[in-house]
Amino acid sequence: MGFWATIAKRVGYGLLLLVAVLVLNFTLISIAPGDIADTIAGDMGGADASVIEEIRTRYGLDQPFYVQLWRYMSRVAQLDLGHSYFFNTAVTTLIFEKLFATLLLVFSAQILAVILGTVLGVLAAKKPNGAVSLTVTFLSLFGFAAPVFWTGILLIILFVSIFPIFPVAGMFDVTVEGGFFVQLIDLLHHLTLPMITLASIFLALYSRLARASMLEVLGTDYVRTARAKGVPERTVLYKHALRNALGPVVTVAGLQFSAVISGAVVVESVFSWPGLGTLALQSILARDTPTIMGILFFSSFVVIVFNILTDIALRLLDPRIKSG
């Protein structure tokens, strides 16, 4: 099967998976106790059964499950994610308002974790029993075991309370005035702690994986042959071994993208980062079903797209996969 035919097949599977995720999410949210009518009644200080029933009728919640599901799937097919009950605006508008903040946090944390984790893994693989390898192993175990919210709280205590270097919350400082570069520096200043917090657990994973992959590649015949021919060690490591060792790291990075997004929900809550995670938490507390469904749909879409992009990257990185 050709390269593009394989990608087209993966896209088809991705669309089927997206439909299955939509049906599953809608079903789980529908069978959960309570709905937006209960939330509105609670905000009103209480309401009798007739008022609650009128609210359900207004929002179409009195319809049978299959009718509600069909209406929702039809709207999604037209790229209409519905109207938020709680925020009183289109769900698509809400998502795109918060999208930049979440993507900035997720991509920066993922890039930091992959690059720094790979570098640490390569350094650890050069001398598997050396001090660098032991240090990387210790830091990896610590970062992997520490809950992400606990890491965030520690960083706030250290770099906000004890050493007031970074801001504690938000994405911008409203008191900062200036041009593009001034605003960019302010943004990066606010981004640093959330990015490090989210990257910490994945940094541990990628460093351990890169170390194990490099050790495996360095033990192969072609590496031993290159060394026997007198090829410089730097060339052996970074030209011959590293490219083949990157395959598992790229694969796991693509598969872990969903975990990065879920971790961003917690990090955004800790640092009051104005992204989709904060919006999701507010929507869950308000039982705003359309917004919850829209965020779940968009998150699933992003994860599926990045799994496909990971497959493309692997085929470009390793010709053996492409030829197979």
317 and 171 in one domain?
yes
Q: What is the pLDDT of residues 57-82, one digit of tens each?
A: 777 777 888 888 888 888 888 888 88
309 and 243 in one domain?
yes
166 with 192: CB under 8 angstroms? Answer: yes
Q: Name the domain count of the chain.
A: 2
Q: Give the end of a domain, one of 32, 51, 77.
A: 77
Residue 310 CA: distances (Å) to CA of 246, 252, 255, 314:
12, 9, 8, 6
Q: Give the end of a domain, one of 28, 52, 77.
A: 77
97 and 61 in one domain?
no
167 and 65 in one domain?
no
* Local structure of 219: helix, strand or coil: coil
Residue from 263, 243, 254, 134 nearest 206 by CA: 254
157 and 61 in one domain?
no
Contacts of 294 (CB under 8 A, 6+ apart): 81, 82, 91, 92, 94, 95
166 and 29 in one domain?
no
Whether 111 maps to a domain, the answer reads yes
Whether 82 maps to a domain, the answer reads no
CATH at residue 146: 1.10.3720.10
287 with 38: CB under 8 angstroms? Answer: yes
**For residue 289, what is the enclosing H or E element?**
helix 289-317
Q: What is the pLDDT of residues 302-324, one digit of tens each?
A: 888 877 887 777 777 665 555 44
Q: Computed from CA positions of residues 220, 221, 224, 225, in that sequence, does the dihedral angle turn out positive or negative?
A: negative
Contacts of 70 (CB under 8 A, 6+ apart): none
* Mean pLDDT of all residues belonging to the chain: 81
104 and 70 in one domain?
no
Task: For Cα atoms 317, 323, 324, give the angle at the middle one, nearest 5 degrees.
Answer: 105
Range of the domain at 312: 92-323
The predicted structure's pLDDT at residue 40: 67
